Homo-oligomer: A and B are copies of this chain.
Amino acid sequence: MHLFYTPDITGDTYQLNEEESRHCSKVLRLVEGDRVQLIDGRGGFYTAEITDAHPKRTVLKITEHQQEYSKRNHYLHIAVAPTKNIDRFEWFLEKSTEIGIDEITPLICERSERKDVKIERLNKIITSAVKQSLKAYHPKLNEACSFKNFLDKPAKEKFIAHCMEGDKSTLSDKIKKHGEYTILIGPEGDFSPSEAEQALLKEYIPVSLGSSRLRTETAALQACFEINFLNR
């Protein structure tokens, strides 16, 4: 069944916007009586019937509705330095959405080669991954934030994955199941020693993501995988 992302849904009918209406009638060639699925990005999963297949204002009537559809049993926030080649960051957004993530912050670090990102474009990538992988919850993408400012934000279980020498734990040793985790992943050139120190002062626990040398986006996905796996 075709799926639409309808974050502004309320009540038991919904009107698709012009672009989606056109897509619905001209591309998918759906007609009155056809059924579609809707997700609102806040855990709502709906089945709806087309009551008016208008090419600009398609109207749907909700026939079934589930809340907290496949609700996650933990909360994962990854703050990761956007890669120089933005494709790699976009790839991380798509894959982490598929595997399971709740919040992402582009983290601007001392050694970041990329200092800005286009949030709207990146959000579109997340939305299409949400639809493709049938997630009723839309991960939250924050505006880019400097490392220093990010450390001042409140967080519960806090971890930093840097590549420097020193005592490191693993996520499996340290996390409580079903927790709220925040994990910092550095840029191509890693965090600076001073950033690692500042994080330590803010009680971020240094963790290792295994023995392989991973690219930024791979490390971020490895962390995402581990947290989801450990919460199964």
Q: Residues of A with Cβ closer than 8 Å to B? A: 70, 91, 95, 98-100, 132-135, 170, 210-215, 218, 221-222, 225-226, 228-229, 232
Would A133 and B99 count as touching, CB distance under 8 A? no
Would A212 and B99 count as touching, CB distance under 8 A? yes
Would B91 and A213 count as touching, CB distance under 8 A? no
Would B226 and A229 count as touching, CB distance under 8 A? yes
Residue in chain B with minimal CB distance to A99? B212
Would A210 and B232 count as touching, CB distance under 8 A? yes
Q: Could you say how many copies of this chain the assembly holds?
A: 2
Would A213 and B99 count as touching, CB distance under 8 A? no
Least Cβ–Cβ distance between A102 and chain B, in angstroms: 13
A228 to B226, CA, bound (A): 11
A98-B214, A210-B228, A226-B229 known; 13 new pairs, CB 8 Å cut-off, are A95-B218, A95-B221, A98-B213, A99-B212, A99-B214, A99-B222, A133-B213, A133-B214, A135-B212, A170-B232, A225-B225, A225-B229, A229-B229
Would B100 and A212 count as touching, CB distance under 8 A? yes
Residues of B contacting A210 in the complex (Cβ-Cβ under 8 angstroms) = 99, 228-229, 232
A212 to B214, CA, bound (A): 24
Would A99 and B218 count as touching, CB distance under 8 A? yes
Residues of B contacting A221 in the complex (Cβ-Cβ under 8 angstroms) = 95, 221
Least Cβ–Cβ distance between A90 and chain B, in angstroms: 11
Given the contacts A228-B210, A229-B226, A215 and B132 also touching, CB distance less than 8 Å: yes
A199 to B70, CA, bound (A): 30
Residue in chain B with minimal CB distance to A217? B95
